[in-house]
Amino acid sequence: MRPEAMSCAPALNRIHLSPPDVGADEEIAVLRALRSGWVAPLGPEVDAFERELAAATDRQHAVALASGTAALHLGLLALGVGPGDVVLTSTMTFAATVNAILYTGARPVLVDCDESGAISVDLLVKAYEDRRAQSASIKAILPVDLFGKVADYRSITPLAERWDLPVLSDAAESVGAQRYGRPAGSFGHAAALSFNGNKVMTTSGGGALLTDDAARADYVRYLASQARQQVRHYEHTEVGFNYRLSNLLAALGRAQLARLPEMIQRRRALRLAYRDFFAEVPGVHLLGEADGQPEQEDHRENFWLTCVVVDPAQTGWTSSELVAWLEDANIEARPLWKPMHTQPVFAGAPAYLNGTSEFLYHNGLSLPSGSGLDEGGRGRVLSALSEFLELQRRRHHG
Ligand SMILES: *Cc1c(COP(=O)(O)O)cnc(C)c1O
């Protein structure tokens, strides 16, 4: 007898936060690329993926790259950011945003967020004025579309114009979302997408730089290909990078992009199920939905991750207790991003703070949100949540 056959209660499979959702379409696409002989970083699948990405995001140009981080890095270089410059960005983000600034030799200035997690426009103004007064060479603004919600570009864009600063939009988490009737990635002078394995759509690893400026797109393509001049012998006048996306992965990306609306619908259904569930729980609200609206006419998330914020004074339990409970049920849940100004590696960066990002970090958690989560998996998560709440009720009311 095999050892596992003796166990009476087999361990339940782990439910992940946001695993890749791939199937037959992706398999066919990758095989098609493989059999075509274009097993290279470049090829017809890359060209087609770039055209389809540009069309989906309302942009003139898309450059497919090895990661979202590479897209941020080259996006900053293409906007003229370099050593000694300053870039204003959000502290409530993933480390890649700030790493990319440091790769260019520029210095990040970190700005706190509002209660939705988006960069605080009031503090952005304060940071700009304060740094200007200290004669900083401010070169760009890098807002982040946090957890699939497009940032407040209607406020940010006029400020950037007044200050004569370019905007690079970190749309790594927001592909497929919309705001003001425009798609994520269409805002700013350029935008970066990520196709990492945990995002709404994936190429297993990849990203793209979006822009309407042909010269900028060409420059990014050139930098990403080792800054090789267009001559037969190998001629280089600048330091380049090996950042292009492989043709095989672009094929995977095309299959995912075709399924993006359907995958977003599935994430949305999950969001609504969580919303109904927590509507009955005082002291818990969904991040960015303080007004109870999951979506408005001109403002639609891609529902990448559903995050909840817990008020322990009202609930009698904390977000970390819930994370630990779910972990025991082999269900992955996590705190929100730990703000960049609290990261040892970025400790030297100036920060303009209002306490909100730290509040969200201490009281928020993200729940399993993958589009591949089936009925059984969703049921398991909701049951684990119910059991936790029942236990807490008994604990507090005898
Ligand atoms: C995922 C992510 C990135 C980086 O993308 P990679 O493709 O993993 O390099 C950048 N910024 C944010 C906000 C992200 O969530």
pLDDT tens track for 325-334: 999 999 999 9
Residue type, 118: A
- CA 155 vs CA 111, 151, 318: distances in Å: 15, 9, 34
User: For 345-369, what is the mean pLDDT?
Assistant: 97
Distance (Å, whole) CA 29 – CA 52? 15
Nearest to 264 by CA among 74, 56, 63, 50: 56
- Contact call for residues 273 and 386 (beta carbons, < 8 A): no
pLDDT tens track for 312-322: 999 999 999 99
Q: Which of 73, 76, 87, 94 to mutate to test the pocket of ligand 1 (most atoms within 8 A of CB)?
A: 94
* Lowest mean per-residue pLDDT among 66-80, 266-280, 294-308: 294-308
Task: Tell me if 207 CB under 6 Å of ligand 1.
Answer: yes
194 CA to middle of ligand 1, Å? Answer: 6
Domains and CATH numbers, the chain: 24-257 (3.40.640.10), 260-397 (3.90.1150.10)
Task: Tell me if 109 CB under 6 Å of ligand 1.
Answer: no
Whether residue 9 has pLDDT greater than 60: no
Atom number in ligand 1 closest to CA 69: 9
Whether residue 308 has pLDDT greater than 70: yes
Atom 10, ligand 1: residue with shortest CA distance:
96
395 CA to middle of ligand 1, Å? Answer: 40
User: For 35-39, what is the mean pLDDT?
Assistant: 92
> What is the structure's pLDDT at 257?
98
The distance of Cα 380 from the centroid of its chain, to the nearest Å, equals 26
Task: Tell me if 153 CB under 6 Å of ligand 1.
Answer: no
H helix or E strand, kind and range, residue 138 = strand 138-142
Whether residue 3 has pLDDT greater than 50: no
> What is the structure's pLDDT at 397?
79
Whether residue 218 has pLDDT greater than 80: yes
The mean pLDDT value of the chain amounts to 94
170 CA to middle of ligand 1, Å? Answer: 8
Whether residue 4 has pLDDT greater than 50: no
pLDDT tens track for 137-162: 999 999 999 999 999 999 999 999 99
Nearest to 222 by CA among 340, 77, 330: 77
Atom 2, ligand 1: residue with shortest CA distance:
172
More confident residue, 291 or 247: 247
Structure-token pair, residue 324: 């630990």
Distance (Å, whole) CA 78 – CA 80? 5
Whether residue 184 has pLDDT greater than 80: yes
Atom 6, ligand 1: residue with shortest CA distance:
68
pLDDT band at 293 (very low <50, low <70, confident <90, very high): low
CA atoms within 13 A on the CB side of 313: 0
pLDDT tens track for 57-102: 999 999 999 999 999 999 999 999 999 999 999 999 999 999 999 9
Q: Is residue 139 annotated as a catalytic residue, yes or no? A: no
Task: Tell me if 196 CB under 6 Å of ligand 1.
Answer: yes
Task: Tell me if 184 CB under 6 Å of ligand 1.
Answer: no
Task: Tell me if 67 CB under 6 Å of ligand 1.
Answer: yes
